[in-house]
Structure 1
Amino acid sequence: MNKRQGEGCPKKYADTSRDVSVKSSSPVLAAFKVFQQELDTRHDKYERLVKLSRDVTIESKRSIFLLHRVTSVPNTEEILKEADLKLDGVRHKIGQIAEELMGEDIYQFHRAYTPGIQEYVEAVSFLHYIRHRRLISLEEINARLVFCSQGAADALSPGSQVLTFHVTPSDYLLGVADLTGELMRMCISSVGNGDIDTPFQLSQFLRQIHDGFSYIGNTGPYEVSKKLHTLRQSLAKVEDACYTLRVRGSEIPKHMLADVFSSRTTLIDPEEGVV
């Protein structure tokens, strides 16, 4: 028996000419336009911060490359002054980051600029160690990150506003962890130029940094635990260089020491750490 026509089908509306379009005056549409503007503004700010962070990273790396020349020149003060000028330019870029973050929750944009800040901490701590033979503190870094908005030269001039950029403790730790790799390279370069005292100073300094990170353990940021392995490798290479200097230093000509250390560091087991 055939089913009757239309049986079992959903009921259809008779009035198909009903206007279902959303009017431009709809409060829902107006609310979503506001959301769109907020998201676009936030995205544009994020992209500007990424670009500024990239500029900070590039200039900081150039400062680090410049500082490595101190092992091969007789007058290191000229190198340090030039590095200071470069880092002043980096701080100017960080001042622009501070302006972008004015009135914002910094942790919403932290991922955009943290690579540049870590590289800056690495560069400024490298310069500080070469000049003072000690680790720069977080407070000393933040003390030089006070700026005037609107490009005012005087913080008390009309229309200007004092801005302060605070390096987070995690960015500071990550920058210091990267510093150990530069100190290891400085150790090898120093030996190649006949300086046999610097490796022993660096070995002691790196051991102190390693002991400090050991106190943090698993309670620190996740990125710190990842870089701790690289820190241990750098310390192992420097201590291996010091061991070779102490045991075989008199047997190896000074102009060949750097080649010997470079070949020995490649033989260190990448999974071997310092306990």
Structure 2
Amino acid sequence: MSTRITDIFNSFQDYLNNEQEIREQIRVIVKDIEKSARDILMILQNIHNTVYDAVNENIIVAEYCTKAREIFGEVRIQYANLAKVVPNNQYYRYHDQWRFVTQRLCFLVALVIYLEIKVLVTKDTVAEILGVKDNREEGFHLDLEDFLLGLLQLSSELSRFAVNSVTNGDYDRPIEIARFVNELNAGFRLLNLKNDMLRKRFDALKYDVKKIEEVVYDLCIRGLKPSPRPTEETPTV
């Protein structure tokens, strides 16, 4: 074998070794991120076991959210470390290694925001909480597909929360969840989804909506649906 060919293939081997080293560094960091995601999920799962207390329920849920936000602080550091390891302009070369945990964290951020203020989280807010960029042009960023798949995981969690809320004696929350998930469903219907994974997961959203509507319907026929709160009359001038 000529010296020239040997040099060429040695350079190939150096490239492969370097890539393997990068992948291993990414794997170690992603493993830490996955552990943080599990810890946050374990904290937030307590919402399903909280017995309804009109006075203290919001305080208890707020405590879960506060503990979750503390761990998100660790997640920001972990993503910063990940961004240092991933070479510039090679984000999508290694994206598969952190894609699924990022989707889960998007869901967890969305759940915390919903529990705190009952609104749908924005993509830039999720990026800020995770400590990554919002736009691809800025570097290590939050992929739009990961964000959307995280929101779709939220609908499944809220459908379960609606059922468990009734079990725990909270008849107001399923009404709130039904309104929110219907709005989320309407938002996704505005998108022309051609991606197979997004399309498949969006189809599951329909069943989440149906499940929540059945909970609300059951409350109605049992006479447990809370009456609308009277609105104050606007004083005439």
| Class of the TM-score when normalised by the shorter of the 2 chains | 0.7 to 0.9
Q: State the partner residue of 2:16.
A: 39
Cα distance in structure 1, aligned partners of 2:146 and 2:105: 10
Considering only CA atoms, is the larger Rg found in Structure 1 or Structure 2?
1
Kindly indicate whether the alpha-carbon contact (under 8 Å) linking 1:145 and 1:166 is maintained by their aligned counterparts in 2.
no
**Which structure 2 segments of 5+ residues have no match?**
133-137, 226-237
* Aligned equivalent of 2:94, options 109, 116, 136: 109
Q: State the partner residue of 1:65.
A: 42
Kindly indicate whether the alpha-carbon contact (under 8 Å) linking 1:121 and 1:172 is maintained by their aligned counterparts in 2.
yes
Cα distance in structure 1, aligned partners of 2:79 and 2:197: 22
Q: Does 1:27 align with 2:1?
A: no
Q: Does 1:223 align with 2:197?
A: yes
Cα deviation digits, residues 160-195 of structure 1 (max 9, x gap): xxx963101111001111111111122122112211
Alignment RMSD: 2.2
Cα deviation digits, residues 115-144 of structure 1 (max 9, x gap): 111111011111111001011111112234
**Which structure 1 segments of 5+ residues have no match?**
1-21, 148-162, 252-275
Q: Which has the higher helix share?
A: 2
Kindly indicate whether the alpha-carbon contact (under 8 Å) linking 2:102 and 2:146 is maintained by their aligned counterparts in 1.
yes
Cα deviation digits, residues 222-271 of structure 1 (max 9, x gap): 211111122222111111100100112449xxxxxxxxxxxxxxxxxxxx
Question: CA offset at residue 47 of structure 1?
Answer: 3.4
Q: What is the one-letter code of the residue matched to 1:119?
A: R
Q: State the partner residue of 2:220.
A: 246
Q: What is the one-letter code of the residue matched to 1:194?
A: G
Q: State the partner residue of 1:202.
A: 177
Question: CA offset at residue 69 of structure 1?
Answer: 2.1
Question: Greater relative contact order: 1 or 2 (C-alpha under 8 angstroms, separation 6 or more)?
Answer: 2
Question: CA offset at residue 56 of structure 1?
Answer: 2.2
Q: State the partner residue of 1:176.
A: 151
2:120 aligns to what SS in structure 1?
coil
Q: Identity of counterpart residues, as a percentage?
A: 23
Q: State the partner residue of 2:27.
A: 50
Question: CA offset at residue 112 of structure 1?
Answer: 1.3
2:193 aligns to what SS in structure 1?
helix
